Chain A
Amino acid sequence: MVIGPFDLNALEVAVRLKERYGAQVTALTLGSGKAKDALRRALAMGADAAVLVDDGQMAPKEPSVATRALAAAVRKLGGLDLVLCGRQSGEWDFGQVGALLAEELGMPFVPFVPRLEASGDGWRLEREVEGGLLVVDVSGPCVASITNATDNQPRLPKVKDIMMANRKPIQVWGPVELGLGEEDVGEAANRLEVLELFIPEVKSECEFVEGDDGAAKGAALARKLWDRKVI
C-alpha cells in the first residue's frame, strides 16, 4: 500500500511548514487496514500522528461519500489551522476531495497549490493557473489541494524514523466513532456510477501526394482535401 503521488507532495508541504513554524501534523486517510502501511510512511516522513478512517463498514465509492467520512474525522480532530490534500488521487484522478472537503467543513478552498506560507492569521498560497501563478491570502483555516513542484518533492524517510514510525500508534475510527450512519456513507449514499473506462483511439495517417510537378501535386492535394470535406 503506497501513498498517492500528490498526497506525498501534500505531506511534504505539511512537514516543511512544521519545520518552519512548528506544528502538529496529522496524517489522515480512508481505507482498509492495509492503509496503515501508507500511514506509517507518513509518520516516518515527519507526521506526528496518524488516523485511519476504516472503510470496512462504509461504501465510499464516490468522492462525495469518501469526503463525508474524511470531513467527519477532520471535525473530530478539531482545532486545525490547515487541511492539505493531494490535488487528485493516484487511482481514479477525480480531483474532487479537496473542494468537497472545504464545502463539508465550511472552509475556503485553494486548488493546485505548489507552496504556501503563514500570513497574518491565515495563509498566503500560490496557486497554479494557466501559464502562471496566482497568489491568494486566506484568513483563518482553509483547505488546499497540493500539486507537485520541484520544491515539494517528497523526502525519503530516515532509517530511524521508519523504525520509530512502526512504534507509534495509529488511531482507527469507524462510522460509529465518527457519528456517521448508513445514509451518510452506506451503499445508498452513492449516486455516481462509472459506466465505462476506455482509452480513446487516436489515428494518424501519412500519405505522400503524387504528381509530376508542384502544380500537379497541389491539384492532387486539393482533390483529396475536397473529397474529405476539409475544403
Chain B
Amino acid sequence: MFELSAEDLNLSAEQKEVLAMIREFARREVRPAVKEYEPGDRYPHPLVDRMKELGLFGLTIPEEYGGAGLDHVTYALVFEELSAAWMSIAGVLGTHSIMAYVIARYGTEEQKQRFLPRMAAGELRGGLALTEPEAGSDVASIRTRARREGDAYVLNGVKTFITNSRHGTGLLVLAKTDPGAPKPSRGMSAFVFEHSGEVPGFTVRRDIPKLGYKGLDTCEIAFEDVRVPAENLVGGVEGEGFKQVMSGLEVGRINVAARAVGVARAALDDALRYSQQRVAFGKPIGRHQAIQQLLADAYAQIEAARQLVLFAARKKDRGERADLEAGAAKLFASEMCGRVTLDMMRVLGGYGYTTDFDLERYYRDAPLMIIGEGTNEIQRMVIANRLLEKYAL
C-alpha cells in the first residue's frame, strides 16, 4: 500500500504510535464502513462513537483539560490518515478541533475547565458557525446579532453550511455585539453555544445536499431569540471574536490541506495498484509512458503538498503566526488534490468513473478542499495581501 514516508519526520515514539493506531482504525473500521454510509449520505454514528472511545476528539486539547495535547504536526498527519480512508470522517473532527483550539487559546480559565474536558471526551462535539447566506469569505459582513440582556446574550440570525450542527452538541458562534463599530471586525464576538437538548429558538432548518463530503451533517441553522449565558462569551470580552476565529482558521487550513493530501494519496494508491493489474497492448498499463506521466506527477505533487502542510504545522507548533504558510498549504494541496484525483481517474479509465471503485468518491470530495475553509480565490488574495504587508517597501 502506498503511504508517504514518515521516517524523516523525527516523530517521537508516542507520535508514531498514535499514527499507527489511527492507520489501523482507518483500515480496520473506517474503510469497510464507507460503502455503508457514503452512498446514502448517512451519518456514521458507530464510527463517531468509536472515535470518542479512542480519544480522537481530544487530540490537540491540552492534557490538563483532559486531552492528549498533541502538536499540529501529529494533528495534520492524523487528518491525512483519516482522509485517505474517508474524508468525511476527518470532517467530524475538523471544526470541533478548531472550536477547541479557540477556547484553549482565548477562553478564560473557567471556560477551559467547563468546556474542554467534555470536548476531549467527545461528549461536547462542536463546530463553527461563521458563514451566513450572504457572508462567506467576507466574514466581517455577517448579520447575526448578539444583544446583551442581563446575564445572557440573545442571538438572532441564520448560519449556513454549518458542519456538525445536527449531530454535534455545540458550536462556536460568531455574532455582532457592536454592529456600529467603525471597524466591523472589532464589533464581533464568539460564543460557545451548547445544544445537546432542545434549545428554545434554535433550529436546524435544513440538511444541505452536497456533491461529496457525504455522511456528514452540513446544515442551515437559525437562532431566534436564543439565550446564551454571558459566561459563554469567549475570553469574557466583547469585540475579540474576529481575531479569535481567524487564528482558529489557521489550524483549519492546516487540517483542510492535510485532508487534500490524504485524499490524493488514496487516489494514487488505487491507481498504482490498478496500473499493475490492468494489462493493455501486452503489458500492465503502468508500463506505458502515458500512464507513467500521470503517476509520477501525482507522486511529486502529493509529496510537495505534504511538505507545505508540515511546514505550516511546525510553524504553528513554534507558536508563530502561520497564516501565510497555512494559506499556501491549503491553496496548493487542494488544487493538487483536484488535479490528482482526476488524473488518477484517467488511470482507472472507465472503472474510475464507476461507483464500484473509490476513485469517483475522491474526485467528488476534492472540491470541498478547494472551496471550503475560504475559497482558493480568497486564499490567493489573503496570501498576496500578507506578502505585500510583510515585504512592504
A and B pair up: yes
Neighbour of B54 across the interface among A37, A156, A166, CB < 8 A: A156
Q: Which chain B residues lie closer than 8 Å to A37 at the CB level? A: 13, 16-17
Contact B63 A159 (CB under 8 A): no
- 26 A-B pairs with C-beta separation under 8 A: A37-B13, A37-B16, A37-B17, A40-B17, A41-B17, A41-B20, A156-B21, A156-B24, A156-B25, A156-B54, A158-B54, A159-B18, A159-B54, A159-B55, A159-B56, A160-B55, A160-B58, A160-B68, A162-B17, A162-B18, A162-B21, A163-B63, A165-B17, A166-B13, A166-B14, A166-B17
How far, in Å, is A50 (CB) from chain B's closest CB? 13
The verdict on A158 contacting B24 (CB below 8 Å), with A165-B17, A166-B13 known, is: no
Contact with A along B29-54 (1 / 0, CB 8 A): 00000000000000000000000011
The residue on B at minimum CB distance from A158 is B55
Number of interface residues of B (CB under 8 A): 21
The residue on B at minimum CB distance from A160 is B55
| B340 CB within 8 Å of chain A | no
Ordered nearest first, which 10 A-B pairs have the shortest CB separation? A159-B55, A166-B14, A159-B68, A158-B55, A162-B17, A160-B55, A158-B54, A156-B21, A162-B18, A163-B68
- How far, in angstroms, from A92 to B53 measured CA to CA in the complex? 35
- How far, in angstroms, from A40 to B21 measured CA to CA in the complex? 12
User: Measuring CB to CB, which residues of chain A are less than 8 angstroms from any residue of chain B?
Assistant: 37, 40-41, 44, 156-163, 165-166
Neighbour of A157 across the interface among B16, B17, B63, B70, CB < 8 A: B17
User: Measuring CB to CB, which residues of chain B are less than 8 angstroms from any residue of chain A?
Assistant: 12-14, 16-18, 20-21, 24-25, 28, 53-56, 58-59, 63, 68-70
Since A44-B21, A159-B59, A160-B58 are in contact, a sample of 19 more A-B pairs with Cβ atoms closer than 8 Å, ordered by chain A residue number, is A37-B13, A37-B16, A41-B20, A156-B21, A156-B24, A157-B17, A158-B53, A158-B54, A159-B18, A159-B58, A160-B55, A160-B68, A161-B55, A162-B17, A162-B21, A163-B63, A165-B17, A166-B12, A166-B17
How far, in Å, is B32 (CB) from chain A's closest CB? 14
- How far, in angstroms, from A161 to B53 measured CA to CA in the complex? 11
Q: Which chain B residues lie closer than 8 Å to A41 at the CB level? A: 17, 20
- How far, in angstroms, from A163 to B68 measured CA to CA in the complex? 7
